[in-house]
Amino acid sequence: MAPDQTRPRIAALEVGGTKCICAVGRTPVELRLPANRLEVPSDAGPQQVLSRITEWFAAQHAREPLQAIGIASFGPLDLDPASPSYGSITSTPKPGWRDTDWLGAFARALPQVPVAIDTDVNGAALGEWQWGAAQGLDDFVYLTMGTGIGGGAMVGGRLVHGLLHPEMGHMRVPRIAGDDFAGVCPFHGDCWEGLCSGPALQARTGKAASALAADDPAWDYLLRYTAYAIGNIVCALSPRRIILGGSVRKAGALGEAAFFAGLRRELQRSLNGYVASAALTGKGSGGIDDYIVPPTQGDDAGICGAMVLAQRLVERPAVEG
């Protein structure tokens, strides 16, 4: 596909707990071309990661000017423009990443280019709303389960920010009888993220999700806790659809299809028919199979969302966010 020269040339950055994805382009297709893309492992620590990323974007900008930068980052983030730490990661449990100032780093490296920043999950929600599984829906939730667990929500066509931004991974859920795994969240122990993130699965089983057997009992725990958490999200936000991305859903030997089938079954069991909508109580398509779905953009939901964040700085927004 020929580049669409009428769209702005965007720098898109997804900051994840495992890796950071940098990409430049005018469309999602361009963002996916290897020549337009750089991946940087996050475990090098924020200072080295920031340097590599800003240098790469500066080189791209020198080659052909970038018109806006969009950053979709794991949180918690300070998203209050009036705050001195606006655009920084704040109280994260991820070692070394507390107080990482993304906005400041780009202001120094590319002072002429405007920057938009939001959570990775709000970014991914926007990406799925513009090009994916949430097209035409103004009330939905995007969840990711990976190194951490988080959620972004759109309500009435606007991304939810409020006081800071949602932190859905830190919801509390009932413990399943017989499960004595303490959880790994340094703040809450056995919150949803503490029980069901990739590192939690690793701590529980001694194995990565990709190496777990399909009949490992850890999957059943993970699906049931996740169904409780998603049920709480249904009760709090009444979304029309839930899009679940991140690496955990790929579910190793269990497989993505069995993961989603199990999750849908456990969510229906947990809600027990109380939320009386065929979208939740119904079987198959038009029912629960269309209610909880993987992202259409796959692993690129976040980077596509970072592009939408940046586009909205320089183009008239389609609706709002």
Residues near a second copy (CB under 8 A) = 76, 78, 90-91, 139, 151, 153, 155-156, 158, 160-175, 187-188, 190, 228, 231-240, 270-277, 279-280, 320
- The answer to whether 252 touches 210, Cβ cutoff 8 Å, is yes
CB of 150 to a second copy, least distance (A): 10
- Give strand ranges (E) for the chain: 10-15, 19-25, 37-41, 68-73, 115-119, 140-145, 149-155, 158-159, 242-245, 292-293
Q: Which residue, 156 or 206, has its beta carbon nearer to a second copy?
A: 156
CB of 74 to a second copy, least distance (A): 14
**Alpha carbon of 244 to those of 112, 132, 182: distances in Å?**
36, 12, 25
Paired residues of 27 in beta bridges: none
- The answer to whether 49 touches 38, Cβ cutoff 8 Å, is no
Q: Which residue, 90 or 202, has its beta carbon nearer to a second copy?
A: 90
Q: Which residue, 161 or 250, has its beta carbon nearer to a second copy?
A: 161
Q: Which residue, 57 or 140, has its beta carbon nearer to a second copy?
A: 140
CB of 191 to a second copy, least distance (A): 8
Q: Which residue, 78 or 120, has its beta carbon nearer to a second copy?
A: 78
Q: Which residue, 35 or 82, has its beta carbon nearer to a second copy?
A: 82
- What does the DSSP 8-state code read for residue 116? E
CB of 61 to a second copy, least distance (A): 32
Cis peptide before 95 (omega within 30 of 0): no
- What does the DSSP 8-state code read for residue 286? T
CB of 270 to a second copy, least distance (A): 7
H or E, element range at 95: none
For residue 51 the two structure tokens come to: 């340097």
CB of 276 to a second copy, least distance (A): 4
Query: What gap in Å lies between CA 105 and CA 51, rounded to an integer?
Result: 8
